[in-house]
Amino acid sequence: MRKSELIIDHIKDIPGLEMSLLPTPVHRLNNLSDRLKADIYCKRDDLTAFAFGGNKTRKLDYLVKDALVNGYDSLITFGAVQSNWCRITSIAGKVNGLDVFLVLEGIKPEKDTANLLLDKLAGADISFINSLERDDIIRQVEIKKQELEKAGRKPYYMPVGGSVAIGSVGYIRAMAEILEFSENSDVYFKNIIVASGSAGTQAGLVAGQVISGWKGSITGMAVSRARYEQEQNVFE
């Protein structure tokens, strides 16, 4: 069995939606490659298309399906005022018939712009918390979730970035796409370098590596934490 097939076989029974437009293309970055005297390619996960695309659509394919299969009636999550994650969640909830509750970190802006405007157009219920402390925010989300449950609702909680095991399945699948690209061309990758924030993207790729036995290296560039802390997050 090819390495990509090993991965697909491993996750085939995990139900997911097909919101993301996959596979995303892989482009050679000619100017950067010439300049650095290396062969550098970019997996264009900005082109997942759904709700203006980005890496979070892959996670939401599995998270929203999990919510639907398990009878949840809404999604609840949090993020920055201009969070891409919250934008895609708002739209994914809307098209799948789930109400969306967002707790946004920071002061309510005077004017709704960009992602905040899109969250509202998608009908998300938004509350603001004037704190950037993670504990305060998580407490606020928990209060909102309990209120909803008391009112008879069944909200599906997702941490920021959708970085829980089920969300990371989206990036296990991405690893299969990367390997399949190599299997269908003469381009073999030695290193994958990925931005690592809420950690689910890197964790999914690493899980795909473990399943397939791919011999290259995966390097996460931590965007918001020290290396040690981020490594723990990825392993968890």
Q: What's the closest the beta carbon of residue 55 comes to ligand PLP, in angstroms?
A: 4
Cα separation, 114 vs 133, whole angstroms:
24
* Interaction mask 11-40, ligand PLP, x per CB under 6 A: ------------------------------
- Residue 70, burial from CB neighbour count under 10 angstroms (0-12, 13-18, 19+): exposed
**Would you count residue 79 as binding ligand PLP (CB under 6 A)?**
no
**Would you count residue 161 as binding ligand PLP (CB under 6 A)?**
yes
**Would you count residue 201 as binding ligand PLP (CB under 6 A)?**
yes
148: its two tokens:
């909803």
Conformation bin of residue 213: beta by default, left when phi > 0, alpha when psi is -120 to 50:
left
Given candidates 4, 20, 24, 55, which one binds ligand PLP under the rule CB under 6 A? 55
**CB within 8 Å of 1: residues ≥ 6 apart:** 9
Cβ distance to ligand PLP smaller for residue 148 or 172 = 172
Cα separation, 206 vs 189, whole angstroms:
14
| Residue 182 and residue 212 in contact, taking contact as beta carbons nearer than 8 Å | no
Element (H, E) at 126: strand 125-129
Question: Which one of 4, 20, 74, 83 is the catalytic residue?
Answer: 83
- Residue 99, burial from CB neighbour count under 10 angstroms (0-12, 13-18, 19+): middle
**Would you count residue 199 as binding ligand PLP (CB under 6 A)?**
yes
Q: What's the closest the beta carbon of residue 190 comes to ligand PLP, in angstroms?
A: 20
Cα separation, 96 vs 174, whole angstroms:
23
Cα separation, 213 vs 141, whole angstroms:
39
Cα separation, 59 vs 186, whole angstroms:
29
**Would you count residue 196 as binding ligand PLP (CB under 6 A)?**
yes
Q: What's the closest the beta carbon of residue 71 comes to ligand PLP, in angstroms?
A: 27
Q: Is 131 a catalytic residue?
A: no
**Would you count residue 42 as binding ligand PLP (CB under 6 A)?**
no
Q: Which stretch binds ligand PLP (CB under 6 A): 91-99, 147-155, 174-182, 193-201?
A: 193-201
**Would you count residue 54 as binding ligand PLP (CB under 6 A)?**
yes
Q: Write out the binding residues for ligand PLP, residues 124-143 only, by CB under 6 A.
A: none
**Would you count residue 210 as binding ligand PLP (CB under 6 A)?**
no
Cβ distance to ligand PLP smaller for residue 106 or 123 = 106
Residues that are catalytic: 83
Q: Which residues bind ligand PLP (CB under 6 A)?
A: 45, 54-55, 161, 163, 194-202
